[in-house]
Structure 1
Amino acid sequence: MWGRSEGSRLPRTEEHERGTDDMTGPSPAERLVDLLNLEEIELNIFRGRSPHESLQRVFGGQVAGQALVAAGRTLDEHRPVHSLHAYFLRPGIPGVPIVYQVERVRDGRSFTTRRVVAVQRGRTIFNLTASFHQPEPGFEHQVPMPDVPAPESLPKLADEIREHLGTLPEPLERMARRQAFDIRYVQRLRWTPEELRDVEPRSAVWMRAIGSLGDDPLVHTCAVTYASDMTLLDAVRIPVEPLWGPRGFDTASLDHAMWFHRPFRADEWFLYEQESPIATGARGLARGQIYDREGKLIVSVMQEGLFRKLGG
């Protein structure tokens, strides 16, 4: 588990070299772990860094992942996270540190509850409630994983965009080099209005962290929390506009909920199946199910996003 004062550093491995920008720089997995690692500045108060990026707001998955780290760091014993419920209240400012204040709501025999408030420049931008559960025996059932192509048979996201555009615009090229996750869409990306006609509001991607994340379960849980916000709202947008073309809408996450069903590793392939049951009133609802390579349902996700037409 992350230490309480020193930053976590992962050992160099061949897995790390898969995603290293150069032979001396950190891998994407190392950068992700460093981003999720927090400085404890007082009892129940942590500070996370927010990288300078060419974005209008801090990526929501980063804030959710860091908030969950803060909650997990206040437990006296390891218990797996079983659920989280969060609201994105204000856009975070890139480059400005975020302070996470943790309230120890409950420490029971089976369940532990934490409430986290994220503050930036004196204003609350995000809050999260997380519940941790001591594993217990019980009956089991699940819906089956969809029958989809293996990730190795699918193009990487950056390669698919390059194939269509001929080259990646510099902002996308920079993002691709620093991306912490290998993302592969199960269905080829659509680029024209004709291709979007009669498309159902669904999407599915294979994902895995680019490099080893070590063996701490909390690291993997927070990494999947980070990743869960990357593509979920695709299911809302996909019938309306190309996912990686010019945007016609200003999009923002409003709230986010996750349930963690089984242990998993975020640096091994997982399938993220996503669908949108409704979009109305400038809001779209999306739900996702995450399966491991063996077909076990490991995480369920719900999110609502804001979709405001640009120039409207």
Structure 2
Amino acid sequence: MPQLCPAEPVVAVTRLPGPATDVFVNTHPFETPGEKARSVFGGYLLGQCVAAAQQTVPDTHDVHSLQSTFLLPGNPYEKVAYHVERISDGRSFSSRLVRAIQGGNVVHFTAIVGFQKRSSLGGDAASRPPPKLNYHEAMPQFGHETPDDIDEGSAEACLVEGGYPKDMLDIWRDPFQWRILPRDRTIGQTDTTNPNMNPTHFRMQSFVRVHPLHDAPSSATSRGTHLALLAFLSDLFLIYTTNLATARPVTAFSIETTMNHTVWFHAPDVAVDDWLACERDTSWADDGRVLIRQRLWRRRDGRLVMSCVQEALARLQKPSL
């Protein structure tokens, strides 16, 4: 089984000294699955850009949105420099443009990160319970399942089914603990008003949290770190939804990579070491692109904590002649 690692290092960034005070680099080397690693895992860029941008706003501000574009694969054996530009600061909202740079001035990733001041809710909204979209209601197929009801090996079995190389399972150290529910697959749903429409819809559900071997308790971890880890989690194995939906292994694709990735954060007080209910689904693919959607709820009270949409490039191998 993969060796576990503490969570905070995957999103830790360090501000560089000097006049460019809004430039940060990853504090720790990137975790790479051996010699097969060809690029920096996108979750690092997402989580670390949020962590970097967070250091340029007051402590009263929480991230509420992340809109990112992956431009070039990064070298996992070199530092990434996150250049943060303070593009706007209003009474309630602030925006930051983050460029992830390697190899001199080569931009590999860009993101607009939005922050909201916690005291800006206004009226008596802050004294009311937050609105809830209960996952039992939104996803009745969850039923009364709990993480303890699900086999600990469900995550590894799911990855293998999705074509993740078995030899890499022993190298990659996942800071998160997963419990994967049986897949909900409905194939060949035809719109009778349009016979040319025949999409394949696939939905995967799970429970996920930072592994209980996580060193520091939730109360000792900053809100910003929890939210940065949520950004990291938003990309973790997300593209494998495509493999599971099409029942094709990784080797069937000539390329699988993220193009655009957008996250909305709905609960700034989220704690990633509490169990979250996760739904991932895809029902559209065309011209080498696929759209994957994701939602996470806080299991203990059903509050929606994150929504995410990813556009990925997924090209099949050309058949040999």
TM-score, normalising length from structure 1?
0.79
Q: 1:247 aligns with which of 234, 248, 251?
A: 251
Asked if the contact 1:50/1:98 (under 8 Å) is kept, the reply is no
Is 1:181 the counterpart of 2:179? The answer is no
* Identity in percent: 25
Aligned AA (1:82): H
Match of 2:202 in 1: 201
Match of 1:24 in 2: none
Q: 2:9 aligns with which of 18, 34, 56?
A: 34
Q: 1:127 aligns with which of 99, 107, 110?
A: 110
User: Secondary structure of 2:235's partner?
Assistant: helix
CA-atom RMSD in angstroms: 2.7
Is 155-164 or 40-49 further displaced after alignment?
155-164
Is 50-59 or 301-310 further displaced after alignment?
50-59
User: Which sections of structure 2, spanning at least 5 residues, go unmatched?
Assistant: 189-199
User: Which sections of structure 1, spanning at least 5 residues, go unmatched?
Assistant: 1-18, 22-26, 190-194
Asked if the contact 2:33/2:171 (under 8 Å) is kept, the reply is no
Match of 2:44 in 1: 62
Give CA deviations for 1:40-77 in whole Å, capped at 9, x if unaligned.
Answer: 11400011143454322111011111111110011133
Q: 1:296 aligns with which of 292, 303, 306?
A: 303
Question: What is the CA-CA distance between 1:155 and the residue it aligns to?
Answer: 1.8
Question: What is the CA-CA distance between 1:246 and the residue it aligns to?
Answer: 4.8
User: Secondary structure of 1:239's partner?
Assistant: helix
Asked if the contact 2:243/2:250 (under 8 Å) is kept, the reply is no
Match of 1:223 in 2: 229
Is 1:144 the counterpart of 2:146? The answer is no
Gap change, CA 1:129 and 1:311, over 3 Å in 2: same
User: Secondary structure of 2:270's partner?
Assistant: coil
Match of 2:96 in 1: 114
Question: What is the CA-CA distance between 1:105 and the residue it aligns to?
Answer: 1.0
Question: What is the CA-CA distance between 1:310 and the residue it aligns to?
Answer: 2.7
Asked if the contact 2:66/2:112 (under 8 Å) is kept, the reply is yes
Question: What is the CA-CA distance between 1:208 and the residue it aligns to?
Answer: 0.6
Is 1:154 the counterpart of 2:150? The answer is yes
Gap change, CA 1:58 and 1:311, over 3 Å in 2: farther
User: Secondary structure of 1:94's partner?
Assistant: coil
Aligned AA (1:304): E
